[in-house]
Amino acid sequence: MSTQVVLPQQSESAIAISLIQKTITQTINDLIGKLPDPQLLTISERLWIIARYSSVLEGNFIYWMTATLIATKSEAARPIILDNLYEETRDAHPHMMRKFAIAAHAFPTDYDALAVHVDLTSMRLFLGRLSGVQSLLTMAFFEGFIQKFMPFLASLAAAEGSMEMEYTDVHGVCDIAHTEGLYRALENEMSVNPLGNDANIFEGANCLRTLIDRIVYYRPEVATPSH
Ligand SMILES: [Fe+2]
């Protein structure tokens, strides 16, 4: 009599999510792996990165998560997004972000805002299309990236003598749970409100990656007045 090995059954959507998550995790690891050594950057380069990151995050994270909530049709996904928004609002994460930038002497100027203007606008217009699956995937990527980016961001501020680390401390921990929640929400949304066959599920994530590259690697040709 032969013994048959029974493999655990996985649904098609669970397999799809695990492949998507693997691709996004790899993208995040690539981005983090090629970050410059903070000690090899000039003071201006360190301040520009903090200022541009802050310029994007402070006023847009809650807006983009709200856009994702509006785009999402799955009833099971909505409480996961609302929980995220609840924490952002109750704990005043934009205030934490601003405190971090001010303490590092990197509060964004109009130059910093304009340096990310084109790529930020692309993200705003993309999320304005209200595509549930693509928006959820983009925000899962963003949460995962932010969590792994925190040690780098903290080291930029520390190099400028700042000890205000509430923003980086909080986001290095809480976003692990948020990221997992968003992948669960994505799986629900894919079953209720699937993306058309001709759409690229990674379109928003690609947009966001371009914006992140701009934050980290853009170097103005002339020195900006305040940094
Ligand atoms: Fe946050």
Model confidence pLDDT, tens digit, residues 179-221: 888 899 999 999 999 998 899 999 999 999 999 999 999 998 8
Q: State the average pLDDT for the chain.
A: 92
Whether 123 is covered by a domain: the verdict is: yes
pLDDT for the residue 224: 65
- CA 167–ligand 1 middle distance (angstroms): 8
Cα-atom radius of gyration of the chain, to the nearest Å? 19
Out of 10-14, 84-88, 93-97, 121-125, pick the least confident: 10-14
DSSP structure class, residue 197:
T
Q: Give the structural domain span for 200.
A: 42-217
pLDDT for the residue 180: 83
pLDDT for the residue 214: 98
pLDDT for the residue 197: 87
Whether 74 is covered by a domain: the verdict is: yes
Whether 164 is covered by a domain: the verdict is: yes
Residues within 5 A (CB) of ion ligand 1: 88, 93
Dihedral angle sign, alpha carbons of residues 120, 126, 132, 135: negative
Whether 196 is covered by a domain: the verdict is: yes
CATH of the domain at 63: 1.20.910.10
143-182 confidence digits (pLDDT tens) = 999 999 999 999 999 999 999 999 999 998 866 777 888 8
- CA 94–ligand 1 middle distance (angstroms): 7
CA distance linking residue 91 with residue 88, whole number of Å: 6
- CA 171–ligand 1 middle distance (angstroms): 6
In Å, what is the CA distance from 91 to each residue of 123, 147, 185, 186? Answer: 25, 17, 23, 25
Whether 11 is covered by a domain: the verdict is: no
Token representation of residue 77: 């996904």
- CA 213–ligand 1 middle distance (angstroms): 20
pLDDT for the residue 4: 55
pLDDT for the residue 114: 97
DSSP structure class, residue 11:
-
Whether 172 is covered by a domain: the verdict is: yes
Count up the domains in the chain and report the number.
Answer: 1
pLDDT for the residue 69: 97
**pLDDT surpasses 60 at 3:** no
